[in-house]
Chain A
Amino acid sequence: MALMNRNGAFKRIVGKRDKAYVQMEFNRNRVIVADAKLDKKHEKILRKQTLVARKRLYPLELAALSEAERSAALIERGMRAFDFKHSLRRRAVKQTYLNTVGKLGEAKAAENRDAANALLETRRAEYENTLKTRFKGADKTPAPKESAALYEQASKQEEARLSELTETLSRGKQSALNSLKAKLDAKNEKLRVRFDSADKQINAMSKVDKASFGDESVLNIQNLKMYFSGIKAVDDLSIDVRKGEIFGLIGPNGAGKTTVFNCITQFYKPNDGKIYYRDRFGSLVNLVDYNTHDIIKAGISRTFQNVELVYFLSVIENLLLGAHSIFSTGLAGQLLHSKTYKDEEAVCRVRAMELLDRLGIAAYAQSYPLGLPYGVLKKIELARTLMSNPKVIILDEPAAGLNEAETQELGEIILSIRDDFDCTVFLVEHDMNLVMGICDRVCAISFGKMLAIGTPVEIQNNPKVQEAYLGVG
């Protein structure tokens, strides 16, 4: 009971700290979204005002021309409208020719087409004539200089008005953003106090043996044991994963690789052993104290052996599901779609689009996953793990079902993710080319026991590993 209470208090404080962190991150991103929103709004206003200016200037512009020029301009404008109106008819004539050429024969169809075109031409000529009778100014004497000056003056005025408007808008935007920033900074300061107190408590509470945990380690598994009614799936396994490395776990089928992953992500509670983890704030925790759904908040996000996507949601919504842990709006805010919630979703959508763009699948953002190629589905899953700002990414057979070219591309993507998102990658893989190509260190296990750990070359040359894979020669 005492243990339960300790865990309960621990989870509560961890939850508090995570919430403060998520809100702080959101507040930082909120300025970007506000900026984009204001930009869009101001662009609209400017476009509308440009239109107003053009409308005001047009009669003056006409007045500044000589009579002949004016009528020519008006006729041209009228004919343009006529052509736009009749473009569909011209297309219809063309298409009718194509449709009937088989039935009526080339000559007859061409005849029909020419007749229809001639009719259209006569109509056009008729309309041009009416316009010419309506606007029949032929006087070529230039307009009085006053009207030209008037036009000049008016256009200058409008330009000045527009530039002033642009300036006002940009100033307004700047001040709005500054005030928003100040407000959010004040909020963040308050959150920071809460965060720090929770962080201190967690550090005091954590009973991790710091001596066994190297400065470079992120994940330290010690004597992990997982038994399924007598079958020793994982037996006394100790692994140390260092920060910023790509760590591979290999082994023959049934060696217990996925079980190790499930123990780390708390899908299975290990029978014995410790899984120490340095979370994103630097405090050392034992993952066994966590619930399954709290693991992602600690910064560990995973993919699955078989692609697990929600087929009723579009690709981008699947990514938003991956960002579930970084939403901080309460129930009421979500039910009423409050402004904060909308902003939060906008931030996440922008991030999701960036990730999709990065992986080269932005074109699929609005489509549904059912029926997409397997390589794309794998990439969507990879993008989803990145939505929650992870520190450790756990990939369960990322190359399964991919062809050679796709596997190579995946290897490059994993490397670039490690470099750009500042995270550690821990993967299980059967594809030896991928493992040997990208991993910094590899651990080979067989029947739940560690065979060897080291660089890919060392593992390849290890006789024990060769024996486990190929049998005794």
Chain B
Amino acid sequence: MLKNDYEALAKECRPHYLKRIARHPFFGYIVLMILLIIVQLLHMFTDLISMTVSQAINTTMILAVAALGLGILLMMSGLLSLGTGSFIGLGTYIAGNLLKLLDLPFVFYLAVVAVAGVIIGVVVGVISLRAKGIHLMIVTMALSYIMYTMFVLPNPFTGGPSGLTQVPFPTLLFLFKTNRETMYFVVLAVTFLLIILTLNVINSTIGRAMLGMSQSESLAQAMGIHLLKYRVLAFVIATVYAMVSGALYIASIASSSPYTWTTTLAMNILVAVIIGGTAKPVGVIAGSFLMFCLDLAILDNIPFFANNPTAAVFFMGFLIILIVMKYPGGLMWMLTSLKQKTQTFFYMRRLKKYGPDES
């Protein structure tokens, strides 16, 4: 009778905006950033969150930046490097000396460090990437030891064994002088930008080429992929991320000791990436939080672990062994399988209650 089929039209056109927002690739990362900002605000204005937790999150985000780069190198291109720690160290020294010398916007330091990262990455990459797999690991390990020795040797650039200390905090846009607490937000912003950049790398021709290269070299060559070019590119990306992470470190912690920049740190970051199980930022960040943040931010707040510091180490070790044994594909695999299980659970419940869809 009535031509009020506009209801049907409305149903069709209804913008499922919440769903659409939730499906956006950046949604999860934005939620994470907002959560971390809330944590820091709670620390700054109330006593709910302690200094240790805020510091732990800050350091984790800084190391997660380096881990993102290593994720691209290891998980996308299949190249193993142990030089991450020393590249972070180099980043801290370059940025730290510049910060002592000049008072400029923070973006400037990041840009200088990134350019230095590109140059060093190309030089080191072109020389060392003729080796592959385990041999590349040995080459980068040797490089790491050389750089460590150079950091420790007394010289004005690195400050010798005592390292760089009392580095001033940078200013933002000539206006705001940052301090230890506000640098946290700068670190978050830079991390977020690099997460987006990583997603772009993964979802572009570069990412596909790297994956193809890591799976089969002959396939990659037949598809027109210049092997050395993409290997060096992956290495440069990893180096730039590590150096930017170093710049963030020196700007928010204000000191840099050469004893931090050893292969142990590189191995920790490597384990974080492997536990994450993917080059995707979600896995890398989950792995970094497990490796660098869990003990300081959560376990230390539990009285038992606070009283027995060794118990925390044992717990972490067992946790990592458990994850690696149960889910060899890493946390990403675990998250995916959990997601699938929940979806199946709800689907089965719905099926049991309402029967199959009528249509």
Contact = CB atoms under 8 A, between A and B. Distances in A.
Contacts of A236: none
A293 B219 contact: no
Nearest to B216: A308
B1 interface: yes
B209 A324 contact: yes
Contact of B355 (A76, A94, A335): A94
A308 B219 contact: yes
A293 B221 contact: yes
A312 B355 contact: no
Nearest to B1: A73
Contact of A313 (B6, B208, B220, B226): B208
A61 B219 contact: no
Contacts of B233: 331
B9 A324 contact: no
B225 A293 contact: yes
A364 interface: no
Interface in A288-345: 291-297, 301-302, 304, 308, 310-313, 317, 320-322, 324-325, 327, 329, 331, 334-337, 341, 345
B219 A310 contact: yes
Interface stretch (B166-174, B196-204, B296-304): B196-204
A95 interface: yes
Contacts of B353: 92, 95
Interface in B3-22: 3-7, 9-10, 12-13
Contact of A54 (B6, B216, B227): B6
Given A73-B2, A302-B222, A310 B358 contact: no
A51 B10 contact: yes
B205 A334 contact: yes
A91 to B, nearest CB: 4
Contact of B215 (A98, A291, A311, A345): A311
A337 B204 contact: yes
Contacts, number: 122
Contacts of A320: 205, 208
Contacts of A47: 9, 12-13
A321 B223 contact: yes
B218 interface: yes
B212 interface: yes
B19 to A, nearest CB: 17
B24 interface: no
Nearest to A74: B2
A337 B200 contact: yes
A388 interface: yes
Contacts of A73: 1-2, 4
A312 B215 contact: yes
Contacts of B7: 77
Interface string A22-65: 00000000000000000000000001101100110010011000
B190 to A, nearest CB: 15
What does DSSP make chain A's interface, helix, strand, loop or mixed?
helix
A331 B232 CA distance: 13
A69 interface: yes
A309 B218 CA distance: 11
Contacts of A336: 200
Interface string B347-359: 0000011110010
A292 B211 CA distance: 18
B206 interface: yes
B224 interface: yes
A423 to B, nearest CB: 16
Contact of B205 (A87, A301, A308, A327): A327
Contacts of B1: 69, 72-73, 76
A322 B197 CA distance: 24
Nearest to B220: A293
Contacts of B13: 47-48, 51
Contacts of A308: 216, 218-219
Nearest to B9: A51
B173 to A, nearest CB: 22
A310 B214 CA distance: 9
Interface in A77-125: 77, 87-88, 91-92, 94-95, 98-99
B120 to A, nearest CB: 18
Contacts of B222: 265, 292, 295-296, 301-302, 304
A388 B222 CA distance: 11
Nearest to A58: B4
B212 to A, nearest CB: 5
A310 B215 contact: yes
A99 B354 CA distance: 10
| Most chain B beta carbons < 10 A, residue from A48, A50, A310, A313 | A310
Interface string B112-143: 00000000000000000000000000000000
A322 B10 CA distance: 42
A267 interface: yes
B200 A296 contact: no
A139 B358 CA distance: 40
A317 B358 contact: no
B6 A55 contact: yes
Nearest to A303: B222
Interface of B: 1-7, 9-10, 12-13, 197, 200-201, 203-206, 208-209, 211-212, 215-216, 218-227, 233, 352-355, 358
Given A62-B2, A91-B354, A293-B220, 19 more contacts: A47-B9, A61-B3, A72-B1, A73-B2, A73-B4, A95-B352, A99-B352, A267-B221, A291-B226, A310-B208, A310-B219, A324-B212, A324-B223, A324-B225, A325-B224, A327-B205, A337-B200, A337-B204, A341-B204
User: Considering the complex of A and B, which 7 residue pairs feature the smallest CB-CB distances, nearest first?
Assistant: A54-B6, A325-B224, A95-B355, A296-B224, A308-B219, A292-B221, A334-B204
Interface of A: 47-48, 50-51, 54-55, 58, 61-62, 69, 72-73, 76-77, 87-88, 91-92, 94-95, 98-99, 265, 267, 291-297, 301-302, 304, 308, 310-313, 317, 320-322, 324-325, 327, 329, 331, 334-337, 341, 345, 388
25 contacts: A50-B9, A51-B13, A54-B4, A58-B4, A58-B6, A61-B3, A62-B2, A76-B1, A77-B7, A91-B358, A95-B353, A267-B221, A293-B221, A293-B226, A293-B227, A296-B222, A302-B222, A310-B208, A324-B212, A325-B223, A334-B205, A334-B206, A335-B204, A336-B200, A345-B204
